[in-house]
A and B are shown apart, each in its own frame.
Chain A
Amino acid sequence: MKKLGSMMLFFICTVYSLFAQDIKTVKYEQMMETIAEKGNKLIIVNFWATWCVPCVEEIPHFVSVFNQYKIQADLDILFVSLDRAANLKEVEGFVTVNQMPGELLLLDDAKRFNEWIPKVHPDWGGNIPATAFYRDGKLLEFHPTALTEEELTHIIVKLKQS
């Protein structure tokens, strides 16, 4: 009986995960661990929020460029939402509609903004969108502005390992 119960649970979880985008709510340290775990893939980290108009505008470009280059440039992508944790449902809706690939985090670390923003990059004023490129947990480039499809492609081509 117990076995059946756990099988049911497993089944429900599997089915659920097929339909729901899994967004992890994290603090800064967990976000950095997630980046480091990607090892020597080139990883794009995009800071965004549903309330940020230029972020929402650039995300479809990120999705299409990522899908185009993920294999040939050995890419991974991490979308870090800076929405309030209370707005998780809204974030989930946006992520599903836009078919956002890669890993999805909600950085719920509002009270420590002044601590972790300079750790991401000393010149970052906290304005979003902002995009960082990492490999082996090391920051390669940081752009605290919106990126066009061309700009993003250019950076990926430049940073990919031949």
Chain B
Amino acid sequence: MRQMKNLTLILLLILAHVGVKAQYGIGDQATDFSLQGVDGKTISLSDYTDAKGYIVIFTCNTCPFAVAYEDRINALDKKYKALGFPVIAINPNDPEVSPKDNMAAMSQRATDKNFSFPYLLDLGQEIYPQYGALRTPHVFVLNKEGGQNIVRYIGAIDNNHEDANDVSERYVEDAVDALLKGAQIKTEKTVAIGCDIKVKK
């Protein structure tokens, strides 16, 4: 009986480890989720029956990079929601480790910055490891294909976090534009400096 228990524990540990290690690649199917947003409502991808896809952005209140991108995230949502690609923002940080990322602070931020998109909290931190988000902000563009949400772009929003007026590559816009046209995405993956995710201790 005790052996059984140990075995279960080992299996659980292996599963947990795999869960942390997993990271979506281009072409993988992305998981749906049910997470609470700043307005108290629980949001899932499947709620958006008319969407052609999603711009899922792992972001937060506290990272200066995330803050630098707030206006650009709002602009992405305003532009692409109408075209069928709404922005869904998810804060992956543990609110105990990073108190300024708790639901009350998120709600305040969303009001102050007039977020036009849902801002959800990954409470329990079960979603971001499945996507393989490493930092904030980290974008996953999903495209609905045959009822599944397929990952088509992973990375940064654009190539200049410091200055929105001095951007020469708009990776997310280019990716969504290509999907809307049914064209090949030129840059499917990018890396960028960002803040690490605050993991529950």
Contact = CB atoms under 8 A, between A and B. Distances in A.
B62 to A, nearest CB: 9
B193 A128 contact: yes
Interface residues of A, number: 19
Contact of A127 (B64, B155, B166, B196): B196
Main secondary structure of the interface of B (DSSP, over half): loop
A54 interface: yes
A38 interface: no
A127 B156 CA distance: 12
Given A111-B159, A114-B190, A51 B195 contact: yes
Contacts, number: 54
Q: Interface residues of B toward A: which range?
A: 20 to 34
B45 interface: no
A111 B169 CA distance: 9
B160 A51 contact: no
A84 interface: yes
Interface in B152-201: 155-156, 159-162, 166, 168-169, 190-196
Residue of A51, A113, A125, A128 most packed against chain B (CB within 10 A): A125
A118 interface: yes
Given A51-B64, A54-B196, A124 B159 contact: no
A49 B190 CA distance: 21
B46 to A, nearest CB: 28
Contacts of A113: 156, 159, 190-193
B110 interface: no
B2 to A, nearest CB: 33
Given A84-B162, A111-B166, A111-B168, A126 B195 contact: no
B51 interface: no
Interface string B48-64: 00000000000000011
Contacts of A82: 193
A51 B156 CA distance: 19
B134 interface: yes
12 contacts: A51-B195, A54-B196, A84-B162, A110-B160, A111-B160, A114-B155, A114-B159, A114-B169, A114-B191, A117-B193, A118-B191, A126-B193
